[in-house]
Amino acid sequence: MKLMIAIVQDEDAGKLIGELMDQNFGVTKLATTGGFLKSGNTTLLIGIDESRYDECLAIIEKVCKSRKQMTTSPVGMSNVSSGMYTSYPIEVTVGGATVFVLSVDQFVKF
């Protein structure tokens, strides 16, 4: 048995959970916050049989695509003489998924 820990953007979480549940994967959702851009993330805990590992990973890859997004820079330009702080827009890549896979020695469900 394996435990997949998938960290996905909030925007992708609902669709991913729906797809996984449609395919009879058990999913536990944890609300988390990422450090980059202070954006919301969702961490999913997915317990799977090793025979379904590739199927589960394919669903995550299909749903959680990375994309470009405009945001303001976390570091702006300051005008020392006027004391003004100006941020500027930058394009960043968001989305996708980070997946950790752990081997599970024992699984007990009450």
Across 1-96, where does the E strand assignment appear?
2-9, 26-33, 40-48, 66-72, 77-79, 84-86, 89-95
C-alpha span between 97 and 103 (Å, rounded): 19
> Does a structural domain hold residue 20?
yes
Note whether residue 77 is domain-resident: no
Query: Taking the chain (110 residues) in consecutive chunks of 10 residues, what is each chunk's mean pLDDT?
Result: 92 93 95 67 93 96 80 57 63 76 92
Give the pLDDT of residue 18.
96
The model scores a pTM over 0.75: no
Question: What CATH number is associated with residue 6?
Answer: 3.30.70.120
Domain that holds residue 38: 2-66+95-103
User: Number of folded domains in the chain?
Assistant: 1
Q: Which of 90, 48, 63 is nearest to 9 (CA)?
A: 63
Query: Domain for residue 74, yes or no?
Result: no
Closest CA to 45 of 23, 20, 64: 20
